[in-house]
Amino acid sequence: MNIHIPTPLRAYTGGLETVSVAGTTVGSVFQQLTVQYPELKPHLFTPEGKLRSFVNVYLNDDDIRYLPNKEETPATDTDELTIIPSIAGGTNCRP
């Protein structure tokens, strides 16, 4: 399965925009991803092993938070995962 890596996390995949990882569920794909690229793990998961709340993951076009099986959703080699971290911040531009 191809996983699309967002720009801020590419430093942990050797600059790769897309990586290929095998797995039968979304969770097992993430497990294998963090084995291949261990520096990604703290950016994606809490110390308890839960996907961080600010990390949005899409299986093809579906947000996994709204899929019935969430991280246990079956995955195939032809599926694609996209990781999109939430962006926050800004500045008050008032004079």
Which CATH number characterizes residue 44's domain? 3.10.20.30
Instruction: Read off the pLDDT band of 93 (50, 70, 90).
Output: low
Domain-located, residue 49: yes
For 70, the token pair is: 């969430």
For 59, the token pair is: 């299986």
Q: Which domain holds residue 23?
A: 2-85
Instruction: Please state the domain count of the chain.
Output: 1
Extended strands (E) in the chain: 2-4, 18-20, 55-59, 62-63, 80-85
Specify the range with the lowest mean pLDDT, choosing from 16-20, 86-90, 91-95. Answer: 91-95
What's the CA gap between 7 and 14, in Å, rounded? 11
pTM, 2 dp: 0.81
Q: What is the pLDDT of residues 20-46, one digit of tens each?
A: 999 999 999 999 999 999 999 999 988
Domain-located, residue 33: yes
